[in-house]
Each structure stands twice: as C-alpha cells, then as structure tokens.
Structure 1
C-alpha cells in the first residue's frame, strides 16, 4: 500500500482524517444467532484482536459488553431491544433513516474522553444478500471493520477480505494496517493525515 492508500482508509467523506483504535480490552456479545454462529463471531474477534496485539476480556467494567453484534430481519426490531435507546442517542430517527435507505448493515462507535474507541454496536439486517454470505466470512469482515474507526467510505468499493487457498482471509494490506495501528508507539487517536505516513513506516518496517 502507498501512503495515499492508507490516508484514504481514514479520510471521511467530509474530507477530514480520523483514526481511532480501541483503548480498552474488547468484550464481545452477540444477539439473534444460534450457538454455532455465536462461536464463529467470537472466533473472528479472537483472530483479529490477536493480529492487532490487543486484548479481549469476558466483561467490560463500565458496559458489561462493549462490542455488540445484533442480527435481525427488520430494523424496527431494534426499537424493542431493552435499553438500546439509552445506549444509542437518536435510535428512532436512525432506524427510520436505515429503513428508508434499505441498508443491511450499520456500525455505531462510542468513544472515551481521549477519543479512543470504548464501544461498538454492529447492526446486521439479514436480508437475502446478507444471508447468502457464509458465517465465517460475514463475521471476519464485520470484526475487521469494528477493530478500527475506518473512513465511512473505506470499504465501499472493495471488501477488507480476500480468498487464499479457498479460505477467506483479511487482505494482507488491511491486516498490516490493523497491526500497525495497534503498535504501542502509535497514538490511539489521530486527526492529522501525517499519521498515515507513520502507519506506512510501521508497515514497511514489518514487511507488510
């Protein structure tokens, strides 16, 4: 990847650069799936968190769980989830917008006082297109998009995943960005595009 490629991954549609990684251990929970799929999602979390060199936890002391996956058939179902409206400000108008857009996925991030990620809510409406994706592929893609605050356009043209040897994996360059972003010498939050040059340097040093 070039520095420009990396910059684009964190440059939002309004032109601003914003990078943020998790500032606390990730404690995932999954709603709306069978036990087998639950294990697939948690396995994807473990794999991506290990790649990042970050940590997982059974619980978050403030939130209980801080990476929440919701699988459902209709956006309106979110309005019936206990306490979700308290955790996500403006839930009703958000649901209205997602319904109007016929969206099948959405992520909401929450941040701590320093700007690092402290929670992420992943909403997956299982329409025909989403239901056709194998569970392992769906889980890996969603976890990869939740482990960093990517640009809202980062993966609009190309998935973070690839196929190697008949197996779905993270694209090597995306895995390299994740690992570089969690390097201890790197900041947890950055708003200056020069940060992308530092990511590039870390990736080059690691041979990514």
Structure 2
C-alpha cells in the first residue's frame, strides 16, 4: 500500500479512539476564531492556516459566534501552569488543576478540548500549544496549520501522535493529501455532523477516495 493511501481501514482509523470507539464530529456552525499569546505577525499566520483548513472543508467562518462570541480559541503558552492564571479558564476546562498536572507530567506540547451541541456536532474547540524546547525550532506556519487541521474534526486521540497531518510540497507545507480528502469529505452536507457507527467511515471513504 502506498504511503498515506486512503482505504476504508485508514478512514476508520482516523476516528477510532484508543478505547476502540468510533467517534466522528464536525463543526455544526461557522468557525469564529480568536488567538492568544502570540505576536501580531504570527497571528496573521495562524488565522491564515485556519482559513485554509476551513476552505478545504468547504465550511464557513464568521467574525463572531452568536452564542459564544469566539468558538475556536487557540492559546499559545510557555508553561502549562499559565493556564491556572487565565481568568475563567476553569469554566472552559473542568478539573483544570488536575489537567495541568497531567499535561506537565507528560511533557505534552498540545491539548484540545471540544464542546458539542445537541446533535453531537462541534460547537467549540479550545486548543492549547506549549512552546519551548523542540517546538521553538518548528516554523510558525507548520504549527499553525497542524493545529488548524486538528481543530476542524474530532479526530482520533491517537491518529496524529506519531504521524503529522502535514506534508511538504513544492509550494511549501500543506495538509497531507489523504487528510485533506477526508476533511473535505467529512463536510459533505449529505453526511451527518456526528456519527458513532463505524459504517460512517465507509460513506466517508466513498467520498474521500474519489477526492
């Protein structure tokens, strides 16, 4: 099998969690992002990455979300302990102190928390990136694009732990072709916004394989 070839099994793996459950969700509303903790010039890079991933999906962006104001919040930190100092962060992340302790202990560089609406679609995503160490050597556009694509769907909690969702192309760093095809297929209006039956992966494959 060619590297990153789309198969029914690979599509199913994109949304199969470590517990063995198949859990799929896409955004059910326009994405209204806000970014904290970076310089103005990097902000343009991050927002461009979000726009690029939304465009791949054929989804929509908005200046504000009528319910939440901003529904995609990205935080860039130098230490997980900084989360304890952010006002109202405990409202966004339950058991914040325990989560900070776990992330610190693991030496984690990223964490995402999703919120869902009544239909199971994504209504909000809180994305956190801890800079420092090896992350300081990674170009801003690579970090931004990786975070943006991972915020667009409820991917498996293990799918991008070893393999990046990105690839290097002549024009620069891009979303990996198989990932882009699955992302595009996931927002097909004929498919549900959320699914917990692995048969959904076959419907995704039928669209992504032809992408």
TM over 0.5: yes
Look up the SS of the partner of 1:40 in the other structure: helix
1:202 corresponds to 2:204: no
Q: Distance in 2 between matches of 1:87 and 1:75?
A: 15
2:43 to 22, 38, 49: 38
Q: Distance in 1 between matches of 2:71 and 2:26?
A: 13
1:18 corresponds to 2:23: yes
Look up the SS of the partner of 1:57 in the other structure: coil
- The match for 2:7 is 2
1:104 corresponds to 2:109: yes
Deviation at 1:10, TM superposition (A): 0.4
Deviation at 1:160, TM superposition (A): 0.5
1:83 to 85, 88, 106: 88
Q: Distance in 1 between matches of 2:19 and 2:208?
A: 27
**1:112-123 equivalence runs, <5 A:** 112-123=117-128
Q: Distance in 2 between matches of 1:55 and 1:108?
A: 21
Give a deviation string over 1:28-52, Cα, whole Å, max 9, x none.
Answer: 0000000011111100111110110
1:165 corresponds to 2:174: no
Unmatched tracts of structure 2, length 5 or more: 1-5
Q: Distance in 1 between matches of 2:136 and 2:65?
A: 30
How many corresponding residue pairs?
206
Unmatched tracts of structure 1, length 5 or more: none
Look up the SS of the partner of 2:123 in the other structure: strand
TM-score, with length taken from structure 1? 0.97
Q: Distance in 2 between matches of 1:129 and 1:28?
A: 26
Look up the SS of the partner of 1:123 in the other structure: strand
1:128 corresponds to 2:147: no
Give a deviation string over 1:126-157, Cα, whole Å, max 9, x none.
Answer: 02111111011110011001100000001122
Segments ≥4 residues shifted beyond 2 Å: none
Deviation at 1:83, TM superposition (A): 1.0
Give a deviation string over 1:74-108, Cα, whole Å, max 9, x none.
Answer: 10100111111112211111011111111111111
Give a deviation string over 1:149-188, Cα, whole Å, max 9, x none.
Answer: 0000011221000001151001111000000000000100
- The match for 1:184 is 189
Q: Distance in 1 between matches of 2:23 and 2:67?
A: 25
Look up the SS of the partner of 1:107 in the other structure: strand
TM-score, with length taken from structure 2? 0.95
- The match for 1:151 is 156
- The match for 2:3 is none
Q: Distance in 2 between matches of 1:87 and 1:160?
A: 26
Give a deviation string over 1:46-69, Cα, whole Å, max 9, x none.
Answer: 111011011100011111111111
Q: Distance in 1 between matches of 2:112 and 2:93?
A: 11
Q: Distance in 2 between matches of 1:150 and 1:73?
A: 25
